[in-house]
Amino acid sequence: MTDHLKVFEWAPVRGVWRRELALFRRYWASSSFASIIEPTIYLLAFGFGFGSLVGHVAGYRYVDFVGTGVVATATLFTSVFPGMFNTYIRRTYQHSYDAVLAAPVDVHEVVAGEASWIAVKSGVYSCAPILVSLAFGLRPHAGVVAVPIFTVLTASGFALFGIWASTVVPSINSFDYIISGVLAPLFLVAGTFFPISGLPHWAHPIAHVNPLYHCVELVRHAVFGFHPLADLGHVGALLVFAALMWFLAVRGMRRRLID
Amino acid sequence: MAIVLRDVVKRYTDRDGTSIAAVDGLTLEVPDGVCLGLLGPNGAGKSTTMRLLTAQSRADEGTINVLGHDIPREAKQARALMGVVPQTDNLDEELTARQNLEVFARLYRVPRAGVRAAVDRALEIAHLTGRADARADKLSGGMRRRLLVARGLVHSPRLVLLDEPTVGLDPQVRADLWGLIAALRASGVTVLMSTHYIEEAERLADTCALMSRGRVIATGSPAELIADHAGDRVEEHEGPPERLAEVEGLAHRAGLPTRRTGPTVSVLRAERIPPSLADNLANGDRVVRRAANLEDVFVMLTGETVD
Ligand SMILES: Nc1ncnc2c1ncn2[C@@H]1O[C@H](COP(=O)(O)OP(=O)(O)OP(=O)(O)O)[C@@H](O)[C@H]1O
Ligand SMILES: [Mg+2]
């Protein structure tokens, strides 16, 4: 049975999932509550508060614009935070990975397990704002069914980014630098709450290297109508981002876990 | 041979750039079915040796083979066949005892249909059947350690690495774990157990390897080691410092080794004390006569003290 263990095996990934599912059975209620309430608050505050001033943005109702933008921000935060904090805590305080790596499991399999769980959970929960938006009058195209694909893809990249970041920081407090220095700008320069065309010209290239921007575009296009060529580019950008982060996360974890 | 280490060196570089060799030319063989006690003081390199065997540390020099697999090249294969009980508790505190074991049963590739039986068996070995659904962070220190051992046994490995399995446990829990380890050995499992408790090694190990500063300085069964290095009997003299120095002088002149233990000096190989010296040596001191033990050997060979 264990005579020919391959370089990549699914058993470790399933092992990580088994753990996460056991925990998820305990906290699904609070997670689900938060994933519905947060976008509702955003939509109430921005959609109605701001929307009453703005009305339409970039050709969309502002409340629809925000509703789709919040999908992307939810994807960002529900993937990058678990990637950073959970893996940091499990590595340094709980020594969980030391335990796992004494079994027939390699570092890249641990990373695959953690990242895939985070990505799927984040990707699914991040669709909640669409449901809330329906209640606020959103009338999406059929393409809306593709939204989970884009959110899972985006969340993969950001989960891996978080895992990589957890191997770079010297202490858990140093995450503050990443949150304010990296995540906050990503969050704001992505066209979530206002279109990037509203930003000064020099900021436009920055938006284009921001994975979250590509996610926002894909989600909006899925809901309001695809732009096939541009969207292929957006998917490509997210794939490149995830691949690069995979490489960095695995390398970082290997350095931290194998001496 | 279950484990073969040859001329293994593992260096660490500190923050300030100084390099220390945690394992420094280690050569060690563990035959199949044997319980080998790796005995050494803090910092001797016991845990580093264990991590080298699972390829969680990579050797700078030397060769390692575990159950016929070269490490680190075939480490994954080797890890599938061995169970590891680490020195530091790394149980998943958020999971129950049963869930901890289930996750590792999967990681160790126990076939799906056999997971339940394997987990039940491991719980039974650890006497945790009644606490199976308690979260790990709600278990006592002794239960956690037993669970840690059970986790390393969930796939019925042929080889088990135990890194200081009983450190910090009360005598009852320790005796309980000794029973468990003795049962493992009796069932033919190869055990490599590090410890700095002399008594543990004496009770459980077929063979001991004394480790100091990253290398093995003596090997043999506890009885052989004691006979070779400390003789049969020991006389422990108690007295004021001047008297202790005098006893040392007398013993050394007769060619007998001694060691200091706090307020006493022990004369080793006491069975060889010549009659002419016996009276002089006794001279009204409080003398305790006892059998030589592994600790005498250890102190003799390393000058270091152990628990
Ligand atoms: N990751 C590391 N980085 C730097 N030095 C290390 C590292 N791991 C171990 N060492 C050093 O290597 C030496 C051997 O350590 P090791 O943990 O193997 O000893 P040990 O015999 O297990 O001791 P103990 O009985 O205290 O557990 C020690 O001096 C230790 O400080
Ligand atoms: Mg140790």
Question: How many Å lie between the alpha carbon of B14 and the closest alpha carbon of chain A?
Answer: 13
pLDDT in tens, B50-72: 999 999 999 999 999 999 999 99
* Most ligand 1 atoms within 8 A of CB, residue of B9, B15, B48, B213 to mutate: B48
Look at residue A249 in the predicted model and tell me its pLDDT. Answer: 98
Whether residues B106 and B70 share a domain: the answer is yes
B167 at A interface, C-beta within 8 A: no
How close is the Cα of B46 to the center of ligand 2, in Å? 5
Look at residue A2 in the predicted model and tell me its pLDDT. Answer: 56
How close is the Cα of B221 to the center of ligand 2, in Å? 22
Instruction: Give chain B's domain count.
Output: 2
* Most ligand 1 atoms within 8 A of CB, residue of B42, B194, B197 to mutate: B42
A258 at B interface, C-beta within 8 A: yes
**Chain B residues near residue A95 by CB distance under 8 angstroms:** 86, 88, 90
Q: Mark which of B210, B226, B242 sits at the end of a domain.
A: B226
* Tokens of residue B127, six digits: 């006497």
Whether residues B155 and B270 share a domain: the answer is no
Whether residues B153 and B263 share a domain: the answer is no
A92 at B interface, C-beta within 8 A: no
Q: Which residue in A has a C-alpha nearest to residue B48's C-alpha?
A: A259
Closest partner CB to B106 (pick from A1, A11, A102) = A11
Atom of ligand 1 nearest to the CA of B46: 21
The CATH number linked to B286 is: 3.30.70.790
Q: Which of A1-5, A6-10, A237-241 has the lowest mean pLDDT?
A: A1-5
Whether residues B221 and B241 share a domain: the answer is no
How close is the Cα of B166 to the center of ligand 2, in Å? 12
pLDDT in tens, B167-221: 888 888 888 889 999 999 999 999 999 988 888 888 899 999 999 899 999 999 8
Look at residue B85 in the predicted model and tell me its pLDDT. Answer: 96
Whether residues B277 and B142 share a domain: the answer is no
Give yes or no for residue B47 CB within 6 A of ligand 1: yes
- Grouping H, G, I as helix, E, B as strand and the rest as coil, residue B62 is strand
Whether residues B203 and B238 share a domain: the answer is no
**Chain B residues near residue A257 by CB distance under 8 angstroms:** 56
Give yes or no for residue B46 CB within 6 A of ligand 1: yes
**Chain B residues near residue A99 by CB distance under 8 angstroms:** 86, 90-92, 104, 151
Mean pLDDT, residues A23-45 taken together: 85
Residue B102 lies in a domain: yes
Crossing angle of helices A10-42 and A128-135, in 10° steps, is 30
The Cα–Cα gap between A136 and A153 comes to 27
Look at residue A234 in the predicted model and tell me its pLDDT. Answer: 95
A18 at B interface, C-beta within 8 A: yes
CB of A146 closer than 8 Å to CB of A98: no
* Tokens of residue A1, six digits: 């049975």
Q: Whose CA is nearest to atom 27 of ligand 1?
A: B42
Query: pLDDT band at B284, cuts 50/70/90?
Result: low
Mean pLDDT, residues A130-150 taken together: 91
Whether residues B128 and B252 share a domain: the answer is no
Residue B297 lies in a domain: no
Residue B148 lies in a domain: yes
Mean pLDDT, residues B280-306 taken together: 77
Query: pLDDT band at B136, cuts 50/70/90?
Result: very high
Sequence-distant (≥ 6) Cβ neighbours of residue B104 within 8 angstroms: A15, A99, A103, B151, B154, B155
How close is the Cα of B89 to the center of ligand 2, in Å? 12
Residue B106 lies in a domain: yes
Give yes or no for residue B213 CB within 6 A of ligand 1: no
Whether residues B260 and B241 share a domain: the answer is yes
**Chain A residues near residue B77 by CB distance under 8 angstroms:** 2-3, 5, 104
- The top-scoring range by mean pLDDT among A25-39, A175-189, A190-204, B70-84 is B70-84
Whether residues B135 and B277 share a domain: the answer is no
Give yes or no for residue B274 CB within 6 A of ligand 1: no
Residue B302 lies in a domain: no
The CATH number linked to B113 is: 3.40.50.300
pLDDT value at A144 more than 70: yes
* Tokens of residue A253, six digits: 């974890």
How close is the Cα of A91 to the center of ligand 1, in Å? 18
Query: pLDDT band at B305, cuts 50/70/90?
Result: low
Ligand 2 ion: residues within 5 Å (CB)? B 46-47, 87
Atom of ligand 1 nearest to the CA of B41: 25
Q: Is the dihedral of CA A53, A54, A60, A62 positive or negative?
A: negative
- 8 Å CB contact of A104 and B54: no
Q: Tell me the residue range of the domain where B251 lies.
A: 231-291
Whether residues B8 and B114 share a domain: the answer is yes
How close is the Cα of B6 to the center of ligand 1, in Å? 19
Residue B296 lies in a domain: no
B252 at A interface, C-beta within 8 A: no
Q: Whose CA is nearest to atom 24 of ligand 1?
A: B42
Query: pLDDT band at A88, cuts 50/70/90?
Result: very high
B116 at A interface, C-beta within 8 A: no
Whether residues B59 and B101 share a domain: the answer is yes
- Grouping H, G, I as helix, E, B as strand and the rest as coil, residue B72 is coil
Residue B51 lies in a domain: yes
Q: What's the predicted TM-score (pTM) here?
A: 0.90
- 8 Å CB contact of A11 and B107: yes
Give yes or no for residue B166 CB within 6 A of ligand 1: no
**Partners of B135 in the β-ladder:** B96
Percent of chain A with pLDDT over 70: 99
B107 at A interface, C-beta within 8 A: yes
Q: What is the 3-state secondary structure (H, E, C) of chain A?
A: CCCCCCCCCHHHHHHHHHHHHHHHHHHHHHHHHHHHHHHHHHHHHHHHHHHHHHCEECCEEHHHHHHHHHHHHHHHHHHHHHHHHHHHHHHHCCCHHHHHHCCCCCHHHHHHHHHHHHHHHHHHHCCHHHHHHHHCCCCCCHHHHHHHHHHHHHHHHHHHHHHHHHHHCCCHHHHHHHHHHHHHHHHHCCCCCCCHHHCCHHHHHHHHCCHHHHHHHHHHHHHHCCCHHHHHHHHHHHHHHHHHHHHHHHHHHHHHHCC
Q: Whose CA is nearest to atom 30 of ligand 1?
A: B43
Residue B124 lies in a domain: yes
Whether residues B275 and B181 share a domain: the answer is no
Atom of ligand 1 nearest to the CA of B51: 18
CA B151, B103, B73 angle in degrees (round to 5)? 75
Mean pLDDT, residues A95-113 taken together: 96
A107 at B interface, C-beta within 8 A: no
